Amino acid sequence: MSYSINLAVICGNIGRDAEIKYTPSGIAKTTFSVATTRRFKKGDEWVPETTWHNVVLWRNENLHPHLTKGKQVTIHGSISNRSYDGQDGQKRYISEIVAEDVVLGGGNKQSSGGGNFEEGEWSDTKPAAAPPAQSRAQAKPVATAEPWSAPVPAGGGWGPTPESNDPLDPPW
């Protein structure tokens, strides 16, 4: 079985305000560009190099007003290559990042209303109220199958015990 990965993760600044269009069936397609900059050494000097990325976000029109020029954003998605015929009849090729997750960050710090935006996380729904805090004395132990949460056996549970004859059990 062969295995392949198509994963794009970029963090940069939005280069132009997002544009939104709708397909004939009413599905929202939001497009915007993101600039990422890397630095490399040329002689004795560090030189910046900016790369522009086209980003497509499907079915998330609620995020559109927040995707404004200068806003810092992190995009998780996949790379898509396609072609189309330009107005002059020439075949054009384009690479895009099809976003699956968009995390808003710093940047121009301006945002519109609608939804919750806190510390770089975006949600369309109001978070549920947190349960009341319990002190450690009030908290009850929870049974679980994870080995790292099981009680430590007598003797500390780390390394060999006098009863251990396992050759793979380290001596420390």
Written as one letter, the residue type at 30 is T
Over residues 62-99, the pLDDT tens digits come to 898 999 999 999 999 999 999 989 999 999 999 999 99
- Minimal CA–CA distance to 6: which of 73, 72, 81, 58? 81
Average pLDDT, rounded, for the chain: 75
Specify the pLDDT at position 105: 87
Is residue 135 over pLDDT 50? no
DSSP 94-161: EEEEEEEEEEE-STT----SSSEEETTEEESSPPPPPPPP--TTT--------GGGSPPPTT-SSS--
Looking at residues 6-29, what average pLDDT do you find? 94
pLDDT over 70 percentage in the chain? 61
Confidence class for position 163, pLDDT limits 50, 70, 90: low
Tokens of 148: 């790292």
Domain 8-123 has CATH 2.40.50.140: yes
Which residues does residue 97 pair with via DSSP β-bridges, in sequence order? Answer: 55, 79
3 state DSSP class of 76? strand
Sketch the domain layout of the chain as residue ranges: 8-123
- Identify which has the larger pLDDT, 119 or 58: 58
